[in-house]
Structure 1
């Protein structure tokens, strides 16, 4: 498994139970165990290769947890996305590019399946929101975790690219870095 930097905030069982009560959905035990250990967290640079999907690979930036800053918080992300994702799904991770991984919590043979929700392919206003426009990633949280691999591109893989421009958003920081490097 890849390295995941744990959240500095402890797992809050009460908040997860509140989420389950409010949604009427029950999170998979293996995912709850992950939350108890990491409570979300940030994985090292990674790649998840998707077989047979329009999107060939994804990279996880953040796993959501309980009682965290808004953009890292499970409840906050659910409340933001609940009218845009299927009602039986809970977002559990943010991907590079703004998409999310959702866990499907229907009471059938797809319970616990993880899907990629692509914000560019969400349903139009008035359409029924289902998993039909999402990509199946894994049939369980454990399977998903095994799919995540460290991503350390070689110089050869990065060759052929060039920087077209650079915008300095924090000039004070930039000057500090230049000074530290003796420039």
Structure 2
């Protein structure tokens, strides 16, 4: 048995213990994952790739939480974050390709969305550069760069999405460490999510403002070059 086999078995045992249920026949077309890698010129970490190829859909019987290495603005008093859904390759609300398109040019290209919490924030995995590759990160949607540009905030030292990490926090050193950190949420934990969530109207007007904000960043980057 290879090391990867051992890690996969450990991951599967942990997810099963957490009450994971899967939908479909659990046979994912390898070409779907390869096409994503080619399209975005990335190389997914091996264990995470095995995860994508093994499960069409992942659901849990009860709420799941995890502890992060770095506390985020969303951390509970005990330092835990919530896990809502893993993104998968099949069609549906949590289709991975839809999520990539939704957040492309909103998160650094060194990280890749793999899941979300219950408040619109992302869990990402590093896919480029040795500094980030394989590590797991939390991306805070309320402090994203595009929103700051839209609000005309002063961002003198920021010229592109790739050098803005003020809203990114380290969760775990690897995908297996992230899986190891997952646990069932204690019923005594009370989340004050509603006080933190700011509703965003994804209207055509809002999307146009986001487009203009990205163009403003691109123009700034070109001037620096």
Q: TM-score range by the shorter chain?
A: 0.7 to 0.9
Taking structure 1 as reference, are residues 128 and 7 closer, same or farther at Cα in structure 2, changes over 3 Å only? farther
- Post-superposition offset of 1:3: 2.4
| Structure 1 counterpart of 2:23, from 7, 19, 30 | 7
- Post-superposition offset of 1:42: 2.0
For structure 2, the residue ranges without an aligned partner over 5 or more in a row are 1-13, 150-157, 193-225
Q: Tell me, yes or no, if structure 1 residue 50 matches structure 2 residue 42.
A: no
Q: Indicate the residue corresponding to 1:132 in structure 2.
A: 165
TM-score w.r.t. length of structure 2:
0.63
Q: Tell me, yes or no, if structure 1 residue 33 matches structure 2 residue 33.
A: no
Q: Tell me, yes or no, if structure 1 residue 142 matches structure 2 residue 176.
A: yes
| SS of equivalent to 1:75 | helix
TM-score w.r.t. length of structure 1:
0.76
| Structure 1 counterpart of 2:116, from 86, 94, 106 | 94
Q: 8 Å contact 1:15–1:67 — kept in the other structure?
A: no
In the aligned structure 1, how far is the partner of 2:31 from the partner of 2:165? 32
For structure 1, the residue ranges without an aligned partner over 5 or more in a row are 162-183
Q: Indicate the residue corresponding to 1:180 in structure 2.
A: none
- Post-superposition offset of 1:141: 0.4
Q: Indicate the residue corresponding to 1:117 in structure 2.
A: 139
Query: Which string of whole-angstrom CA distances, capped at 9 and with x for unpartnered residues, describes residues 61-114 of structure 1?
Result: 111111221x31111100110111111221000211111101111131421111
Q: 8 Å contact 2:137–2:172 — kept in the other structure?
A: yes
RMSD: 2.2
Greater share of helix: 2
Q: 8 Å contact 2:33–2:52 — kept in the other structure?
A: no
